[in-house]
Amino acid sequence: MKRIIFHIDQNCYFASVEMISHPEYRNVPMAVVGDQEARHGIVLAKNELAKKYGIKTAEAIWQAKAKCPDLVLAPAHHEKYEFYSMKLREMYYEYTDRVEPFGLDECWLDMSDACESYEEAAQIADSIRQRVKDSFNLTCSVGISFNKIFAKLGSDYKKPDATTVFSDEDWKEKIWPLPADDLLFVGRSTMGRLRKINVRTIGDLAGTDQAYLARYLGKAGDVLWRYANGLDDSPVAEAGHKREIKSVGNSTTTATDMTSNSAVYRTLHMLSESVASRLRKHGLKGTVIQIEIRDRDLVRCEKQKILFEPTDNAGTIYQAAKELFTESWDWHKGIRSIGVRCSKVIPAGMGTQMSFFTSEETRRKTSKLDKVIDDINRRYGKGVITSAAEAEMQKDEDGAAPVSEDPFHPEDRF
């Protein structure tokens, strides 16, 4: 049976939801922005009028205002976005039980059982777009193809409020001339590397030797080659399917720029505690520790290291994160935000290589203590009990409790 996959993408979603309750936003360039007081001052979404000024998602508010001084800034209301997202998915379930969310505003639908041809699929897509308009006063774009990657490409191909079909007969002539970074998962860094080997279009990517790409880009090279050649066969998940957890991370934007090692260490320790707790909650251990730093100009730096043995212990995560920071940061600028992530996770019960440096008895005691702390915090509230190390981190160099200008905001942890 022929696969027919939809990808439905709401147009300017956050901005469009805000325009439902504020019709006046429809006639002016506007952007939904993060909380400036909490220093999450970036553009989260923008309407079509703002797009014409070249305003981009994730750029700083001051950059957006420089492009459009009259830009109207609207605060984000995430509860609204989640509400409409839930209602939209309920509508999609009327067509198929295979609905896979991709963020709040995007979904894949497996419509193979509902359509016999691409022509019929396009008609159903048009009716869905009309229902979204009539029911919610929102617009969406729909991509239709024989796999998820090309369906996603189709929803991006023509916006706003459009249906695009890449059939199994004409996809090469339509898709291969497109820029390689139009393909899902080809980001700025990967595109930069592809340009170095003269790969600029999806067709160039498809025509490059598969083995060479795998050597050049690692596993990602093999995956992208398959995507470019239309070989994605990943299924659309059924309703209620839980995506496999591949990493656990936490990050925070501090109230003021961090300008000292002690402030960074304090923040890294709190983030490590949170990451470790979530790993234990999911019954996982991480084998790679990564930190991500953004300076005051939003320039990002990432570093990672492989651990000798998998861990779910905050102290181990913190020590690795601290080493990565000390080795890589030269304090050329203050730090605006920082994050800690554990990746290449494995089930906690999986056998691991034992270390000569840590006895099995010490490991068991540490693990037992972590679980006791998790249980107490779960019963009586997060943070009611912490490790001695974390308590010590809350003191400044003179041994005094931190004053109110301490840059870390606990509510920023997520």
| 106 is known as an active-site residue | yes
Taking the whole predicted model, whether its pTM rises above 0.75 is answered as no
| Cα-based torsion angle of the residue sequence 276, 277, 281, 283 in order, rounded to the nearest 10 degrees | 20
* Each residue's pLDDT expressed in tens, for the chain with a length of 414 residues: 689 999 999 999 999 999 999 999 999 999 999 876 655 578 999 999 999 999 998 888 989 999 999 999 999 999 999 999 999 999 999 999 999 999 899 999 999 999 999 999 999 999 999 999 999 999 999 999 999 999 999 999 999 999 999 999 999 999 999 999 999 999 888 999 999 999 999 999 999 999 999 999 998 999 999 999 999 999 998 766 566 788 899 888 887 889 999 999 999 999 999 899 889 988 999 999 999 998 888 788 899 999 988 999 999 999 999 999 999 898 888 998 899 999 999 998 765 555 555 555 665 666 666 666 666 565 555 554 555 445 544 544 433 333 333 333 333 332
Catalytic entry in 100, 106, 273, 390:
106
Cα 123 versus chain centre, distance: 32
Euclidean distance between CA atoms 334 and 114, whole angstroms: 55
Question: Which of 118, 101, 133, 82 has the alpha carbon at shortest distance from 7?
Answer: 101
Domains belonging to the chain, first-starting first, are 1-167 (3.30.70.270), 176-240 (1.10.150.20), 247-351+375-412 (3.30.1490.100)
**Which residues pair with residue 224 across a beta bridge?**
none
Q: Give the number of other Cβ atoms within 10 Å of residue 299's Cβ.
A: 11
